Amino acid sequence: MDPMRRSPSPCSSRPSSPRTPPCEMLGYVGIEAVLDQLKIKAMKMGFEFNIMVVGQSGLGKSTMVHTLFKSKMWKSTVPGLGTPTPQTLKLQSVTHVIEEKGVKLKLTVTDTPGFGDQINNDKCWDPILGYINEQYERYLQEEILITRQRHIPDTRVHCCVYFVPPTGHCLRPLDIEFLQRLCWTVNVVPVIARADSLTIEERETFRRRIQHNLRTHCIDVYPQKCFDEDINDRILNSKIRRRAGGKFTYS
Ligand SMILES: Nc1nc2c(ncn2[C@@H]2O[C@H](COP(=O)(O)OP(=O)(O)O)[C@@H](O)[C@H]2O)c(=O)[nH]1
Ligand SMILES: [Mg+2]
């Protein structure tokens, strides 16, 4: 019998394609193997996390980013009295790959200088909201392609750190208006900027007033109630809320 005419068994001499490893390489395949496979894949691919810092000039956004990465990445421009602030809002992103115990995290921080510094702050949030929505759109467009990339670069903003000026009173109308828009679009983490300029008592009073403002103006900051569906998430979210003094923290 001509060996070439024999019907090939699934694991015989037939050359395997790079995507289908021979049977002996697969070993035991059970449902529980899926977890390990996902873990190995996630470790190889790494994770992407994108943070955006928002707030008016001089509140310490760039300093926070600089401290986070322990490097000088860009110079902040604090306009002096009478200095016209440029109309165009420039967003600057910096990316660092952090690796811990074999797990890679690509951390990108986007700084937004100049927000709310104009005399007329009408629609000053447009460039920031525009940027956030553009990233969603870009990702979606890649996702819906019939022949899409195996890995779609994720530039979506996962967390927006909102710097509240340390007035000691309550949220300014501008902050309320911006936060209302922002919390519909992205996960918002408000922080009291330059909190060291307030005493501990002032800080506490200010924090409580801000929380009250957030509630009365229906501003749902991170972690939102909708993330509480899973019991484990709910426990974790409660811990975050407790630690942040009820969804609020200091810079
Ligand atoms: N007191 C105090 N000053 C700060 C803090 N963070 C930054 N600064 C100072 O505030 C000024 C403006 O900081 P910068 O990071 O450029 O603010 P940005 O315009 O929001 O990016 C600088 O002189 C910083 O040294 C802080 O937490 N407390
Ligand atoms: Mg800055």
pLDDT of amino acid 12: 42
Which tens digits make up the pLDDT trace of 159-177?
Answer: 999 999 999 999 999 999 9
* Atom 26 (ligand 1) nearest CA: 194
Which of the four pLDDT bands, split at 50, 70 and 90, describes residue 9?
A: very low
Joined together, the tokens standing for residue 40 give 């190995």
Q: Rounded to whole angstroms, how far apart are CA atoms 230 and 75?
A: 43
- From residue 202, how far is each of 173, 198, 229 by CA, in Å? 20, 6, 35
Which of the four pLDDT bands, split at 50, 70 and 90, describes residue 26?
A: low
Interval between CA 194 and ligand 2 midpoint (Å): 14
- Which residue from 155, 160, 163, 159 is spatially nearest to 94, judged by alpha carbons? 155
| Span 228-250, average pLDDT | 78
pLDDT of amino acid 20: 52
Interval between CA 251 and ligand 1 midpoint (Å): 10
C-beta of 114 in contact with ligand 1 (< 6 A): no
C-beta of 194 in contact with ligand 1 (< 6 A): yes
Q: Rounded to whole angstroms, how far apart are CA atoms 168 and 204?
A: 9
Which tens digits make up the pLDDT trace of 71-109?
Answer: 554 444 444 434 433 333 578 888 988 888 888 899 999
Joined together, the tokens standing for residue 81 give 């009295």
Q: Rounded to whole angstroms, how far apart are CA atoms 238 and 247?
A: 9
Beta strand pairing call for 188-192 and 249-250: parallel
Lowest mean pLDDT among 28-42, 131-145, 176-190, 219-233: 28-42
* Domain residue spans of the chain: 46-250
Q: Which atom of ligand 1 is nearest to the CA of 55?
A: 20
Q: Rounded to whole angstroms, how far apart are CA atoms 154 and 13?
A: 42
Long-range contacts of range 129-133, CB-CB < 8 Å, 24 or more positions apart? Answer: 129/181, 129/182, 129/185, 131/52, 131/91, 131/157, 132/52, 132/156, 132/157, 132/160, 132/185, 132/186, 133/185
Interval between CA 63 and ligand 1 midpoint (Å): 6
Interval between CA 2 and ligand 1 midpoint (Å): 82
Q: Rounded to whole angstroms, how far apart are CA atoms 249 and 104?
A: 27
Q: Rounded to whole angstroms, how far apart are CA atoms 135 and 110?
A: 12
Which tens digits make up the pLDDT trace of 116-133?
Answer: 666 677 777 888 999 999
| Span 217-225, average pLDDT | 93
C-beta of 76 in contact with ligand 1 (< 6 A): yes
Mean pLDDT of the chain: 80
Q: What is the CATH number assigned to the segment(s) 46-250? A: 3.40.50.300
| Span 19-44, average pLDDT | 73
C-beta of 192 in contact with ligand 1 (< 6 A): no
pLDDT higher for 154 or 1? 154
Interval between CA 114 and ligand 1 midpoint (Å): 13
Which of the four pLDDT bands, split at 50, 70 and 90, describes residue 7?
A: very low
Which tens digits make up the pLDDT trace of 193-205?
Answer: 999 999 999 999 9
C-beta of 78 in contact with ligand 1 (< 6 A): yes
